[in-house]
Chain A
Amino acid sequence: MIKDITIGQYFPGNSVLHRMDARVKIILTAVFIVMLFAAKGIEGLAVGIVFTVLTFLFSKIPLKMMGKSLKPIVPVVVFTALLNLFFIRTGDVLWEWRFLKLTHDGVDTSVFMVIRIICLICGSSLLTYTTSPIDLTDAIERLMSPLKKIKVPVHELAMMMTIALRFIPTLIEETDKIMSAQKARGADLETGNFLQKAKALIPILIPLFVASFRHAEELALAMECRCYHGGEGRTRMKQLRMSILDLWGSLFCMVFLAGVIAVNALVK
């Protein structure tokens, strides 16, 4: 179950979304977030939902993958829903029990919030599903390259991100191994209260830290052996290239953003 984490995992494919330039995709994801937050009512949000569903269909990502990326945020969604349900006290009262009060407005807002969060996660995980981490960091490096002028180590940051992404599965595997090893020696990870459980994690975390230092050291050596000497004079096998596809993608996104704004104005 620990291996099921999918955040930041690339799903190889050849869809329209896969073929778009990573830089454009990052910017459009930002536009998408703006779009969702610009929606004032459920009607505006509907436009956002249509956009999310359409891009999801374009990406040809299996529905199961989407489900996986939604799973970890279930607690957040539930929490948001409950908070909105019971803390908004305006509007017609639907149900009341002692200090708990459920109002029409509360239900509305909480439905709205839940849909917005789900759209947000689905839409932005499409970015990482359809863009290989190298393209992603490459794009971030390019987008941030103006910051080099003010001495921000852009290349180094991008390299760190690539390596971090690369080592997520390795470290997860390692964690699994360490957990089994400690369990085999009688470590109890499942029972006890929160504090005891947290304490039981120490014998997992320490070997994991030591192991990651060892990984880092060897990796640095291997990188040096392969002529790594920082970002200077580096070329890329895959050049980021914008195509007509990116223009259409941007247009598509802008139309929906305009749609949300228009719906907002109309409903008012």
Chain B
Amino acid sequence: MSENFIEIKDLRFSYINDLEDPPVKTEVLKGVTLGIKKGEFVAVLGHNGSGKSTLAKCINAINLPEAGGVFVDGMDTLDENNLLPIRQRVGMVFQNPDNQIVATIVEEDVAFALENMGVEPAEIRQRVDDALKTVGMYEYRLHAPHKLSGGQKQRVAIAGIIAMRPDCILLDEPTAMLDPKGREEVMKTIKMLNGQGVTIVLITHYMEEAAQADRVVVIDGGEVVMDDVPRKIFSQVEKMKELGLDVPQVTELAWELQKAGYDISTEIIDEDECVAKLAELLRGQ
């Protein structure tokens, strides 16, 4: 399939700090070209300040390109008339769940986007219930958000996005502030949504999460430096370390073993696989 749902063409973007005199311009994205197909699960990696969050904000027209272009479902983000349709198609979940919940009751927060879109009240009710059931928070619909755990709050935030019925969800480090249990809850939800055909763009610092994606894009210094399936990306352990990134623990283990002279491939990204390979290695000796 050649038709991309999200098409980014030679995108350039800078932040301008006009508090300084003369204004200081920081170039963040230096010509990013990327295509994302419908239904794909893409993980975006990059160390702090590499421009990955900026890139995500370019996709749903929060940041507008300085040069080049971003097209969502064929719509140019530079056209102001496309703003609302684009944001309805591409939802965004942020790192801090507290800062994206608007209302004081879970279900009213989930309804927020739909109210903004002017959906009929009966339809809102239906979609809010569906969204809450999808993320498994239906029984908490009348709770106050501040009384929920981090993982639950983040799931409410995701419900608020999926109630819009978007084709794509951008998640900007959604698990960074969560404990392991919350992280697992959120990842499960993300994978389930992807299973239902929603395109996922996940920005993350956790390599184990990136390993679950269909495709990993590595960004460094405002440019795409690697773009492949997770297995191929993580097997290049030296290159990843050079970029200031980690690899999943199992890949690291395989790499260390390889360095010590054992015959093991670094194309290992999940635990079961690693166990099997290690067993094989032990039997061989």
* Interface residues, chain A, with chain B CB atoms under 8 Å away: 10, 12, 132-134, 162-163, 165-166, 169-170, 173, 214-215, 218-219, 221-229, 233-239
Which residues B81-140 have CB closer than 8 A to chain A? 84, 87-88, 91-92, 94, 96, 98-105, 107-108, 111-121, 124-125, 128
- The 19 sampled A-B contact pairs (Cβ below 8 Å) are A10-B105, A162-B102, A162-B103, A173-B146, A215-B99, A218-B100, A219-B100, A219-B102, A221-B62, A222-B92, A225-B87, A226-B160, A229-B116, A236-B121, A237-B114, A237-B115, A237-B124, A237-B128, A238-B121
- Residue of B with least CB distance to A134: B108
B interface, how many residues as a size bin?
Answer: 35 or more
Question: How far does the alpha carbon of A162 sit from the alpha carbon of B115 in the complex, in Å?
Answer: 15
- By secondary structure, the B interface counts as helix
Closest-by-CB residue of A relative to B145 is A166
Q: How far is the CA of A10 from the CA of B143 in the complex (A)?
A: 10
Closest CB-CB distance, B96 to chain A, in whole Å? 6
Contact in complex: B108, A237 (CB < 8 Å): yes
Closest B residue by C-beta to A232: B118
- Residue B198, interface by CB 8 Å: no
A238 to B101, CA, bound (A): 18
B118 lies within 8 A of A225 (CB): no
Q: With a CB–CB cut-off of 8 A, which chain B residues contact A173?
A: 146
Q: Given that A225-B87, A227-B87, A233-B118 are known contacts, is A166 also in contact with B104, CB under 8 Å in the complex? A: yes
Given contacts A224-B62, A234-B116, contact A229 B105 (CB under 8 A): no
Interface check B142, CB cutoff 8 A: yes
B250 in the interface (beta carbon within 8 A): no
Interchain CB contact under 8 A, A166 and B101: yes
Say yes or no: is B269 at the interface (Cβ < 8 Å to chain A).
no
B216 within 8 A of A: no
Docked CA distance A234–B84 (Å): 13
How far is A221 from B84 in the complex, measured between Cα atoms in Å? Answer: 14
Cβ–Cβ contact A218 & B99, under 8 A: yes
Main secondary structure on A side of the interface with B: helix
Q: How far, in Å, is A140 (CB) from chain B's closest CB?
A: 15
The answer to whether A219 and B99 touch across the interface, beta carbons within 8 angstroms, is yes
Residues of chain A contacted by B99 (CB below 8 angstroms): 214-215, 218-219, 222
B94: which of A12, A222, A229 is its contact (CB, 8 Å)? Answer: A222
Give A219 to B115 CA distance when docked, in angstroms.
Answer: 17
Chain A residues whose CB sits within 8 angstroms of the CB of B118 once the complex forms? 233-235
Residues of B within 8 A of A228 (CB): 112, 116
Which residue on chain B has the smallest CB distance to residue A227? B116
The reply to whether B113 and A237 contact each other, CB–CB distance below 8 Å, is no
Contact check, B111 vs A226: say whether CB atoms are below 8 A apart.
no
Residues of chain A within 8 A (CB-CB) of B104 are 10, 132-134, 162, 165-166
| Residue B203 lies at the interface, judged by CB distance under 8 Å to chain A | no
Q: How far is the CB of A214 from chain B (nearest CB, A)?
A: 8
A12 x B102 contact (CB < 8 A): no
B60 contacts A by Cβ under 8 Å: yes
B87 cross-chain contacts in A, Cβ below 8 A: 224-227
Q: Is B43 an interface residue (CB 8 A)?
A: no
Which B residue sits closest to A9, measured CB to CB? B144
Residue in contact with B112 in the complex, picked from A133, A214, A215, A226, CB distance below 8 Å: A226
The distance in angstroms between the C-alpha atoms of A233 and B116, with both chains bound, is 7
Taking the nearest CB of chain B, how far is it from the CB of A104, in angstroms?
A: 48
- Check if B161 is an interface residue, CB within 8 A of chain A: yes
B161's partner among A218, A226, A239 (CB-CB below 8 A) is: A226
- The residue on B at minimum CB distance from A223 is B102
Known contacts A132-B104, A173-B146: does B91 contact A225 (CB below 8 Å)? yes
> CA separation between A226 and B92, bound complex, in Å?
8
Chain A contacts of B161 at CB under 8 A?
A: 226
Contacts of B102 in A (CB 8 A): 162-163, 166, 219, 222-223, 226
Q: Are B96 and A218 in contact, with the CB atoms below 8 A?
A: yes
- With contacts A226-B91, A229-B84 known, what are 16 further pairs, Cβ within 8 A? A162-B102, A163-B102, A170-B98, A218-B94, A223-B102, A223-B112, A225-B92, A227-B84, A227-B88, A227-B116, A233-B118, A234-B116, A236-B115, A237-B111, A237-B128, A238-B121
